[in-house]
Amino acid sequence: MTAEEDALFGLPYVPPDETVSYGAHPSQVVDFHLPAAPTGLRVTLLHGGFWREAYDRRHLAPLAAALAARGVEVALAEYRRVGGDGGGGWPQTLDDVIRAVGVRVRPGRPSRHVLVGHSAGGHLALCAAAGGHAAPPGVDAVVAVAPVADLARARELRLSGGAVDEFLGGARNDAPEADPVLRGPVHIPVTVLHGTADPDVPIALSRSYAAAAMRHPGSADVTLRILPGVGHYAPVTPGTVAYGTLLTALGAEAL
C-alpha cells in the first residue's frame, strides 16, 4: 500500500444517516450523509476498486461525512460489482449507477447535483455523462477523480491484473460503448482531476480522454486538471491539499 492509500483507509468509518435500497440485490443501496444545514448542493459519490466485489463504498464514508459537514447532501452509492455473487459487470454496473443517482430522501430537486466518481467509479461517472442517452435526470455536472477513462488503454496495460477483462466479461468482449473515449459527446460539463504520481491509474488515460472529448462536436465542456506530485487517493482524502482541489471542482470550497 502507498502512503496515500494508508491515509485514506486508515480513517475511521462514518456510518450514514440513512440507507435506501433501489433494487433487490444487496449491493443496490445508497448511503445518505445528511447535512444539518443544507446548502442546496448534492453530491452522489461512486467509489473505485476496479469494479470488483472485494472493494465497497465504505472507504469513501469519511469523504461523504466531510462533505456533509460543509452542508452538502451526500449520496454514497453502491452498485453491483464483479466477482463472487456481485452480479455486476458491463452493462449491469452502469445500469445501477443510473438508477442510484435518482434515489432521494429529501423532497425536491437540489439547486445543484454533481456526480463524483473515483477510479473505476470515475469511469462509470464518465460513461453516465456521455453516449447515446442523456445524462441521468437531475445531474448537472460530473467530477471524475483519477478515472479509468480510456478502457482500451487500461486493458492493454492490464491494470490491476486484467480488471477490464473481468468487468467486460472476457477477453473477447470489446464493448466499445463501455469506453468513455469512444462513447461520444458528453451531455453535461465534466471535470477530470488526475495526479501525475498516480501508480494505479496512469494520468495518460485522462489525457487520452480529454483529447478525445475535444474531437466531439457539440460536446459539453471537459476540463482536465493535472495535480503535480499527487497519487491515486489524496483527492478523496479529507484534509489533504488535493482534497481542496476537489472542493473547488465541486464549488464547495467556500461552504
Structure confidence by residue, pLDDT tens digits, 213-255: 988 888 899 999 999 999 999 999 999 999 999 999 999 765 6
| Residue ranges covered by each domain of the chain | 3-250
pLDDT, residue 171, reads 55
CATH architecture of the domain with range 3-250: 3-Layer(aba) Sandwich (3.40)
- In the prediction, which pLDDT does 1 show? 74
pTM given for the model: 0.96
Measured between alpha carbons, how far is residue 174 from residues 33, 122, 130, 165 in Å? Answer: 37, 20, 18, 9
**C-alpha cell of residue 226:** 493535472
Residue 192 near residue 222, CB atoms below 8 Å: yes
Backbone φ and ψ for 230, nearest 5 degrees, come out as -95, 140
Predicted confidence at residue 131, as pLDDT, reads: 72
Closest CA to 124 of 151, 84, 87, 85: 151
Q: What is the pLDDT of residue 16?
A: 98
pLDDT at 132: 67
Q: Which three cell numbers stand for residue 34?
A: 445528511
Q: Which residues of the chain have pLDDT under 50?
A: none
User: What's the pLDDT score for residue 135?
Assistant: 77
List the strands of the sheet with 222-227, edge to edge: 18-21, 29-33, 73-77, 41-46, 112-118, 141-145, 190-195, 222-227
